[in-house]
Structure 1
Amino acid sequence: MPETFALYRTLTSLPLGRKAFSFLFAQKAPYFWTVRPQVREVREHHAELVIRKRRAVQNHIGTVHAIAVCNGLEAAMGLLAEATTPPGRRWIPKGMEVAYTAKSTTDLLCTADTDPADWAEPGDVPVRVKAIREDGTVVVEGVITIYVSDRKK
């Protein structure tokens, strides 16, 4: 089990553990700290976190900036990959394709999902990502492709 997922499982069993994990996760990948991800759930093939609509991530029209949303989606994808990558394999992001479908006017729930069959062999794994407003409207959706390979021996 990758150490990030092990840390998540350990900390979330403690009071304030989710908050502590969110902070530590954002420190491990410092760019994620820009959106202050609040991790809600991590398990194999699924991860979700919230990014708050605050001044630091807003654009000139007062919505959450598109790149901040993508940052949240990439953070969710990374958590999913850490929880799902089989032993003896590693992963790296390869590309991202997203569509901006509505204005990001509230805090956003960022989700990442895969299917077990996607992980059967080394190679490209498509991770489906969505950012969802508080009213349930999907504001960004797409796919982040990660490349999964065997670890060098």
Structure 2
Amino acid sequence: MTDNYLLKLYHKTLGYPFGRALFSRMFAAKAPYFKSIKPTITELQPNYCELTFKKRKAVQNHIGTVHAIALCNGLEMAMGALAEASIPKHLRWIPKGMTVNYTAKADSDIRIVASTDPQAWKLGDLPVIVQGFRRDGTLVIDGVITIYISEKPPRKSA
């Protein structure tokens, strides 16, 4: 078993009824805008996160498809969970930039995937691949979120 706090929490909550939903709500509470898409993290492991959210009125635009910001919220949440589940304890991360391409209409429930190279956890920029898919598997959003990796400052003694 891992000593990563987020992975421990994820695996612990999976043992409860509705554990994935419980974990997803807890993680989404870290950034209130994540809650707006009502996501469910379906898989979390080092260097990989997958989540889903339903197409519903609150995330639709004027033409009835999932709006761009809802898609980007999903990408950012998956990246954040991946980063917290993967980063070595002596390092910290912060988002630096995001580039996305909208490749097809998002006219169904959405599955978001974030992934990165396990060897990439070094000081400097780290690209996290983020993608969103319709129910039929069609890619609807494709991008990279660059996070900046730095050393944690030394702890001050009390």
TM range (shorter): over 0.9
> Deviation at 1:2?
4.6
Residue matched to 2:150 = 149
Output aligned runs, 1:53-92, within 5 Å.
Answer: 53-92=55-94
CA distance in 2, matches of 1:5, 1:59: 34
**What whole-Å deviation, never above 9, does each CA across 1:23-56 have from its counterpart, x for those lacking one?**
1111122110011111100000100000110000
TM-score after normalising by structure 1: 0.95
2:126 matched to which residue of 1? 125
Paired amino acid for 1:25? F
**Distance across 1 between alignment mates of 2:135 and 2:66:** 13
- Partners of 2:14 and 2:120 lie apart in 1 by 27
Measure, in 1, the Cα distance between the counterparts of 2:95 and 2:151.
15
Q: Which amino acid aligns with 1:118?
A: A
SS of the equivalent of 1:28 reads coil
Which residues of structure 2 form unaligned runs of 5+?
none
Structure 2 counterpart of 1:139: 140
Larger radius of gyration between Structure 1 and Structure 2: 2
**How many residues matched?**
152
**Which residue, out of 89, 94, 97, partners 1:95?**
97
Report the 3-state secondary structure (helix = DSSP H, G, I; strand = E; otherwise coil) of the residue aligned with 2:36: helix
Q: More displaced, 2-11 or 142-151?
A: 2-11
Contact 1:93–1:145 (Cα < 8 Å) also in 2? yes
Could you tell me the TM-score, scaled by structure 2's length? 0.92
CA distance in 2, matches of 1:11, 1:46: 18
Distance (Å, rounded) in 2 between the aligned partners of 1:2 and 1:69: 27
Cα RMSD between the aligned structures? 1.0
By how many angstroms is 1:15 displaced? 2.4
**Aligned-partner Cα distance in 2 for 1:122–1:76:** 21
Q: 1:62-110 deviations in whole A, cap 9, x for unaligned?
A: 0000111000010000010011101111111110000000000000000
Asked if the contact 1:59/1:65 (under 8 Å) is kept, the reply is: yes
Counterpart contact for 1:35–1:57, Cα < 8 Å: yes
Q: Is the Cα–Cα contact under 8 Å of residues 5 and 79 in structure 1 kept in the other structure?
A: no
SS in 2 for 1:35: coil
